Amino acid sequence: MKPLNPSFIFLLSLTVVSSSLGFYLPGLAPVSFCEQNSKGDAEECQTEIQLFVNRLDSVESVLPYEYDAFDFCKDTDENRPSENLGQVLFGERIETSPYKFSFKADKACVKVCTKSYDTGSREDKLKLDFLKKGMELNYQHHWIVDNMPVTWCYIVEDNQKVCNPGFPIGCLVNQEGKPKDACVINADFNKKNTYYVFNHVDITIHYHSGDETNGMHARLVAATLEPRSIKHSNDENPTCEETPMDIPADFKSNLKVTYTYSVTFKQNDDIRWASRWDYILVSMPHTNIQWFSIMNSLVIVLFLSGMVAMIMLRTLHKDIARYNQMDQEEAQEESGWKQVHGDVFRPPRMGMLLSIFLGQGTQVFIMTFITLFLACLGFLSPANRGALMTCAVVLWVLLGTSAGYVSARLYKTFGGENWKTNVLLTAFLCPGIVFVDFFLMNLILWVEGSSAAVPFGTLVAILALWFGISVPLTFVGAYFGFKKPGIEPPVQTNQIPRQIPQQSFFTKPVPGIIMGGILPFGCIFIQLFFILNSIWSHQMYYMFGFLFLVFIILVITCSEATVLLCYFHLCAEDYHWWWRSFLTSGFTAVYLFVYAVHYFFSKLQIIGAASTILYFGYTLIMVLIFFIFTGTMGFFSCFWFVNKIYSVLKVD
């Protein structure tokens, strides 16, 4: 294996990373807006702006809830836009809201609705308790205008501006008088054991004026808001200038909460529509850390490439040349990897299970590569909601042929004859484990009433895709795999297995497997932090260029680390390399799980048994998929390496 050319790495970095710095959204058409008295054609521009609401989530709970669960103001003509498969699986629940605006029509302190809570009503008490629980756990609104998140921008340390695509429903001052979460923004939030609900929002919508002389109308380029808590003294004619809306922890008197809003339109011709997400993405200071991660990973790759090149070009070349110049008697006195040529291709134990893992790993690799490549091109951007998950699921279903073919071909190479069992397990074993885990997690979400619970109809649709498309395609791939002959080894296998000499500590299976996963994990652990943040801390992930580059580096690192350890083990005359090559790089998944446990206890504030079970349940799915993927990369690299070095030996 030749080391990577530095110029190739540089060009690949520029190409891939540029896609994470530029944010173009192919396939998403802009919407034009105009005033009601404008002469523009109604088909060319819109005058009404509809604000959509999404599910509410929290960093202290894995359970998201629908907007209606917290007894907020509802739209009289409530309807839901069509959702794709990815949105349903991610638990997004987008619906219309009573917040409706006319373009360029500023409004101040507009009443939306009033919610009343009677102490004599058990239903009202449950609604208020659930609202207070949401404020205690810091649940966040997620509003959408023109397919763009309505953000809450504020200043943090070092005078840095952060724009968060969500804002809290309220906050809590505990019994000691210590404000939690958003209560620190206002000194008037000072009553002990009191909740403050953000029942008023000041919305600012920025628009690009366009060029009406060329028939180009205005387009929305940003939407921000500032949440406020106001106790309205007059529910019918609010002024939005009163004291904060406090809700005592003890529900002893009737309560009314009036929700209001103000909206202001501002012209901003400095922001183009194609880059209107940039003000959100720039506020996430991760780029420098990402570059550090990439450079760290490249150093590891270059080191491993140099080691592999040294082995291939120097050690192996000299060994093979010297070995081929000897006669047979002298060759038999040699030790090391050359002496196990008669046993190195002996079929492994549990060859069927290994072939099944390799078939599934090939399917996952191709799916991941295509998905990340499309994400780099911008087709699976955050603005195209649910597209990433939808693409991954559809690709996995359609790639059943590759899993069946690889599994059948390798199983035949191992000398297996139970082809029916092999095909069935390839189609059902790993997907079945994932589905059972997913279904159990979904049961917990159903019991908790979370919006993330996948509806029964969607589960049926997933099963239909699995049984109706993926399984038949797996059978088709297996049919072509079994029709072809198995892969012929370059050397013959002895009838009697050779005795393996006593191994040192570092060449024993377990220490070698444990060491093999360290370097691949070292290439990804920084990127893994941002991925876990996007999943569990609800941060927006958009740097797919970095992710794609790290994916390529991970594949190379798994391959080279496995080849190095495989060579050392063969030199120690241990020819059991089949499973070891798979487990060496596959052990990276164990480090992934350990890091996920560390992340749970050190970074997250999740409380509750249900949230904890959900976290580790979904983490196990990630670990299993990652184990199969990395193990497959290591196995095929080692398979190529062993075939390469033994094919040049002149062995009778």
- Domain membership of residue 608 (yes or no) is yes
For residue 415, is pLDDT > 80?
Answer: yes
Helix, strand, coil in percent for the chain, rounding step 5: 50, 15, 35
Q: Is residue 337 part of a domain?
A: yes
432, 526: one domain:
no
Quick check: 6 pLDDT over 60? no
The mean pLDDT of 293-322, rounded to a whole number, is 71
Residue 14 has pLDDT above 70, yes or no: no
Same domain, 112 and 259: yes
pLDDT cut 70: percent of the chain above it: 87
* Amino acid 144: pLDDT: 92
pLDDT in tens, 592-603: 999 999 999 988
pLDDT score, position 417 = 84
Could you give the CA distance from residue 482 to residue 106 in angstroms, rounded to a whole number? Answer: 70
- Cβ neighbours around 137 below 10 Å, total: 23
Q: Are residues 393 and 525 in the same domain?
A: no
pLDDT of residue 43: 58
User: Ranked by mean pLDDT, which of 173-177, 307-311, 439-443, 551-555 comes out on top?
Assistant: 439-443
| Mean pLDDT score, 545-574 | 87
Residue 293 exposure: Cα atoms within 13 Å on the Cβ side: 27
* Residue in the block written with tokens 């993926």: 470
Distance between CA atoms of 535 and 541, rounded to whole angstroms? 9
Other Cβ atoms within 10 Å of 652 Cβ, number: 5
Q: What confidence category does residue 5 fall into, taking pLDDT thresholds of 50, 70 and 90?
A: very low
Assess whether pLDDT exceeds 60 at residue 74. yes
SS3 call for 233: coil
User: Please, are residues 286 and 140 in contact by the beta-carbon 8 Å criterion?
Assistant: no
pLDDT at 232 over 60: yes
Query: Mean pLDDT throughout 429-449?
Result: 94
Per-residue pLDDT at 17: 39
Q: What's the CA gap between 569 and 337, in Å, rounded?
A: 8
State the alpha helices, DSSP H only, in 311-381. 316-325, 328-332, 351-376
Residue 323 or residue 145, greater confidence? 145
Determine the pLDDT at residue 327.
Answer: 54
Any domain includes 71:
no
Both 467 and 374 in a single domain?
yes
Across 365-392, b (16+ Cβ under 10 Å) vs e yields bbbbeebbbbbbebbbbbbbbbbbbbbb
* Boundary of a domain, candidates 473, 488, 503: 488
pLDDT band, very low/low/confident/very high, at 242 (cuts 50, 70, 90): confident
What pLDDT is recorded for position 22? 39
- Classify residue 462: in a domain, yes or no: yes
Banded pLDDT at 41 (limits 50, 70, 90): low
pLDDT(158) > 80: no
112 shares its domain with 217:
yes
**pLDDT confidence tier of residue 428, bands split at 50, 70 and 90:** very high
Same-domain status, 338 and 351? no
pLDDT at position 310, please? Answer: 75
Return all residues near 356 (Cβ < 8 A) that are at least 6 apart: 407, 422, 425, 426, 429, 430
| pLDDT band of 535, cuts 50, 70, 90 | confident
Looking at the domain assignment, is residue 600 inside a domain? yes
> How many whole angstroms separate alpha carbon 524 and alpha carbon 301?
12
Same domain? For 606 and 651 the reply is: yes
pLDDT tens-digit series, residues 604-639: 888 888 999 999 999 999 999 999 999 999 999 999
Same domain, 119 and 237: yes
pLDDT at 385 over 90: no
Number of domains in the chain: 3
List, for residues 455-466, the tens digit of each pLDDT value.
Answer: 998 999 999 999
Same domain, 628 and 611: yes
Of 260, 281, 302, the position where a domain reaches its end is 281
- Whole-angstrom distance, CA of residue 330 vs CA of residue 559: 34
Residue 504: inside a domain: no
Structure tokens at 273: 């529509």
How far is residue 237's CA from residue 114's CA, in Å, rounded to a whole number? 12
pLDDT cut 90: percent of the chain above it: 36
* Confidence (pLDDT) at 377: 86
CB atoms within 10 A of CB 98: 17
Q: Share the mean pLDDT of the chain.
A: 83
Q: Give the span between the Cα atoms of 425 and 112, in whole angstroms.
A: 57
**pLDDT the model gives residue 485:** 82
| Per-residue pLDDT band at 297 (split at 50, 70, 90) | confident
Q: Which two tokens stand for residue 137?
A: 């756990």
**In the predicted structure, residue 3 carries a pLDDT above the cut 70:** no
Give the domain range for residue 586: 288-345+521-652
Q: Which position has the higher pLDDT, 351 or 495?
A: 351
Task: Report the helix count and the strand count for the chain, using DSSP H and E.
Answer: 19, 17
475-500 pLDDT tens trace: 999 999 998 887 888 888 777 777 77
Q: What is the pLDDT of residue 214?
A: 58
- Domain identity same for 401 and 457: yes
The enclosing H or E element of 148 equals strand 148-149
In this structure, is residue 365 part of a structural domain? yes
CB within 8 Å of 126: residues ≥ 6 apart: none
Residue 350 and residue 340 in one domain: no
Mean pLDDT for the stretch of residues 445-454: 90
471 shares a domain with 393:
yes
The residues facing 148 across adjacent strands are: 145
- Going by C-alpha positions, the residue among 141, 67, 145 that lies closest to residue 100 is 145
Look up residue 369 and give its two tokens: 């590569």
| pLDDT for position 340 | 75
- Domain termination site, one of 252, 281, 310: 281
Candidate from 199-213, 321-335, 437-451 with smallest mean pLDDT: 321-335
| C-beta neighbour count of 328 within 10 angstroms | 9
What is the pTM (predicted TM-score) of this model? 0.85
Flag whether 265 is in a domain.
yes
Q: What span, in angstroms and rounded, lies between the C-alpha atoms of 639 and 105?
A: 68
Rounded mean pLDDT of 43-69?
88
Q: Helix or strand or coil: residue 26?
A: coil
Per-residue pLDDT at 80: 79
- Give all strands (DSSP E) within 234-289, no chain letters: 246-248, 255-267
Q: Check pLDDT > 70 for residue 284.
A: no
Confidence (pLDDT) at 443: 94
- What CA–CA distance (Å, rounded) separates 55 from 67? 6
Residue with the larger pLDDT of the pair 440 and 87: 440
User: If you ran DSSP here, which 8-state letter would residue 575 be given?
Assistant: -
pLDDT at 15: 39
